[in-house]
Amino acid sequence: MATQRAADADPALLAQRKWFLINSQEALRELMSSENGLSSTEAESRLQRYGPNELSYASSTPWWRVLLRQFLSPVIGVLVIAAVISAATDHPVDAIAISLILGLNAALGFWQERKAEADVRALQSLSVDTCRVLRDATEHVVSAADVVPGDIVLIESGERIPADMRLLQANALRVDESMLTGESVAASKRSAAVPVDSPSAERSNMAFSGTFVTSGRGVGVVTATGVHTQLGEINALVQGPAGTGPLQMLTHKLERRIGLIVLVSVTAVFVAGVLTGNSISEMFRTAVALAVASIPESLPIVLTVAMSVGVSRMATRNAILRTLPSVETLGSTTVIASDKTGTLTQNRLTVERIWTPDSTVDVTAADGQATESPTIKAVLLTGALTNEATRGGSHSELTGDAVDVAMARTALEFGVLSEEERAETPRAHMPYEPDLRYSQTVRVDERGRRVLHVKGSADTLLSMSDSLARHSGTSELDHKLVQDANSRMAADGLRVIATATRTLEPGEELSSPLPTPSGLTFLGLQGMSDPPRADVAAAIRACQEAGIAVKMITGDQPLTATAIAKRLGLPTDVPPLTGAEMAELDDDALTVRLAEVSVAARVTPQDKLRIVRLLQAADHVVAVTGDGVNDAPALKAAAIGVAMGRSGTDVARESADLVLTDDNFVTIVHAVEQGRVTFAAIRKATFFLLSTGAAALLAMSANVVLNQPLLFLPLQMLWINIVTNGVQDIALALEAAEGDELKRPPRDRTEGLLSRTLWYRTGITATWMAVAILVVFTWAFESGMPEVEARTFTLTVFVALNFFQVLSARAQYRSLFQLNPLGNKLLLFTSVGALLLHWGAMQWSVSAEILGLTPLSPWQWAVCLGVGSSVLLIVEAEKLVRRSSHRREPSLA
């Protein structure tokens, strides 16, 4: 009955069984399978019951939802209302003009979102297509999607595991589980049951979906498929909604504020106008003009363009962004929680130190002369010969167990032997056995002697040896000398492998399998680790200078993680946080601990997710980097997730906002810098648009209250906001870096889209421009100018004010006269071009008729430019006062 219930169990319950606790025969009985596999009929039946062996990825956002999102802004909503009112009040030109602007903004935003999504979809490539199973007692190659619980799967070196399995056989089987555990060293596998308290990373009789077989071969019975595998369970954690980035929150807040102010102002002006005797039709048109004048229609376009430029600049430096706002979020980051393996390190085990009784060599600094030592050469030779790393072709990479690959590569690079010599067939060979903790091989040396080469753990080889190799020959075995050297290397986070050798006697027979070695001469030790990537230490220093804390979060051993942290320049004076310690701490205590540590080791995906959420609760903007499935939940929860494009898994990339095509932490620092440049450009453009929009709102509101003729027509305000301002503010959004972006701390999160200084400057400049506009219009109208000419004269003054205001916006504290006038050539050309375009619109009769303009005389133009330059003088005076008082804010525009 128990067997029947297990075979027919719900897939989720079946996956939760602790298969590692029972022996292989019990597992087969529970799954109603056998060593000959399922029958084809039963496999088909189970496929219908359990479903395909596939993960569920988040589906693409429907195109119509992406398009609809472009109209959900309160600012855009007011413009939609203005377009409807214009059409209803028989002003089709105004309605069409506003609609065209709305359409342009929506099209640009729609294109950018869809393009970013397509870029990431194109990166998905890691999958298991087929695998070998036993069905009807015969080996078959089937689609991995058709694998079902109870299937017997055959695996060997170079293959990915298609589903979670309980191993029935394991012959020198080693599996790279770094995508799940974060450990760079392949896990040794066996078929025997393991203790009940074994963590997932130490369940040696289990093999998990998506992991990679580096050496050996095995047979397993499938216990879970698809969404019920460990990989699938982690994938489920990342299917929730993504967090909202700082820029999104700031812009939404600003848009709501602008929308509310405009609606209140327009309503008040409309009511006041009607009460003072104006017709409802005229006040409707006035209300539309006021709404158009107040709203920075081009702000969404400016934001999109600035972020698009940031995205393009990042793409040239190996970073692909899924969503535009992510470009700024990086600039706001206060903590980078980085995975170790493959992100900070190379994810390639490398021999770094060689110890012999006579000398110690730092391999990374050696110049080749170190191999002149016969004992060093002997250590390298034995490591390369007692080895199962293979090469597909003469120029292909070595593949196999990471330890074997590292030892073979080092010996070949130092010229100790050739590839042909290494690949010669041994006289006898025994691969590494985890239970025995050593491997051995017999080779013939250059003098024709048979030599036994052995490599394994230091303790194991010491028990088999009776002498030490020296430059001068051999000496008595010194256990303490070797054990002390082994301890020092282990304390430095190195994985230590010992080597020993013995020349066989001419008549000595070899049995099969090879007997346990004895009488060996102990050669030395090789210490290896997954080394840091080049320039990562410098990148971390740059982060620290920029006020960004870097925390290494890994599933690796604390000792290894701490050793790597030291080499990277991360603080290690506080002991690392561990997953076991986290389980005993409540959220408050863990938050305190997180503020102290730079390293968290032996953590699970759930632990990493908890760390990210607690850091966010402590008011940090957290960026998470990683490449494995174990990183995916934290990648999704972070303000910005950064996944690896080369070595990363589909699940990690699907969860991330930023994908690094070169898998390099250094690229993140470049992205942070670009994020700050982008936000500074957005801030400058926003200041310019808000100050000019506020000036128009104040001027037109006062114009109605004073019961004067309409100051500006709706179409004229669109002309100002889009044709002239719209060209200049986009150019302002492309302002280059000022060079000190990584010398400043992250922006204060209590600040809005504008700093306090820029809000103050917005207020004084908007007020001054509004007063100037009203004074000019009143003077012109009362001096006898026709209404069309007075309106044209005043509109040109406003164009000139915009011209000088955009120039003043290039820097927050520095004077315009200290900047290179050609530092932003596009801004200079577009600003001058805007003036010429406005002049041309007045001169051409067709455009003048549509816009309600008339040509001005040279002296009128001179007055307009003179009044316009006054705003620049006011800003320069205010900057001078701030510089002289040294009241510099930490967040500069």
Active-site annotation, residues: 339
Count of CB atoms situated within 10 Å of the CB of 200: 16
CA distance 734 to 826: 8
Nearest to 294 by CA among 276, 274, 268: 268
One-letter amino acid for residue 892 of the chain: L
Give me the count of residues in the chain.
893
Pairing of strands 622-626, 335-338: parallel
Do 871 and 832 contact (CB within 8 A), yes or no? no
Torsion of CA 871, 872, 875, 877, to 10 degrees: -110
Do 820 and 759 contact (CB within 8 A), yes or no? no
CA distance 829 to 836: 10
Both tokens assigned to 257: 């504020």
State residue 37 phi and psi, 5-degree precision.
90, 180
One-letter amino acid for residue 236 of the chain: A
Please confirm whether the linkage preceding 513 is cis (ω < 30° from 0).
Answer: yes
Residue 519 host element (H or E):
none
State residue 811 phi and psi, 5-degree precision.
-145, 150
Both tokens assigned to 120: 């990431």
Do 874 and 764 contact (CB within 8 A), yes or no? yes
From the number of C-beta atoms within 10 Å of its C-beta (0-12, 13-18, 19+), residue 222 rates as buried
Q: For the chain, count helices (H), then strands (E).
A: 33, 26
- Determine the distance from the C-alpha atom of residue 507 to the mean position of all C-alpha atoms in its chain, rounded to a whole number: 63
Pairing of strands 599-601, 577-578: parallel
CA distance 657 to 24: 42
Both tokens assigned to 272: 């006041």
CA distance 666 to 531: 15
Do 686 and 678 contact (CB within 8 A), yes or no? no
CA distance 836 to 838: 5
- The vertex-605 CA angle with 608 and 614, nearest 5°, equals 25
- The vertex-373 CA angle with 369 and 375, nearest 5°, equals 145
Pairing of strands 390-391, 577-578: unpaired
DSSP letter string, 243-255: PPPHHHHHHHHHH
Torsion of CA 617, 623, 628, 630, to 10 degrees: 0
CA distance 728 to 315: 25
Q: 450 by DSSP, 3-state: which?
A: strand
List the end-to-end C-alpha distance of the chain, in Å, as a whole number: 72
- Determine the distance from the C-alpha atom of residue 461 to the mean position of all C-alpha atoms in its chain, rounded to a whole number: 44
Count of CB atoms situated within 10 Å of the CB of 759: 15
**Sign of torsion over alpha carbons 159, 163, 168, 173:** positive
Do 824 and 892 contact (CB within 8 A), yes or no? no
Do 151 and 208 contact (CB within 8 A), yes or no? no
Residue with tokens 């595998």: 229
From the number of C-beta atoms within 10 Å of its C-beta (0-12, 13-18, 19+), residue 643 rates as buried
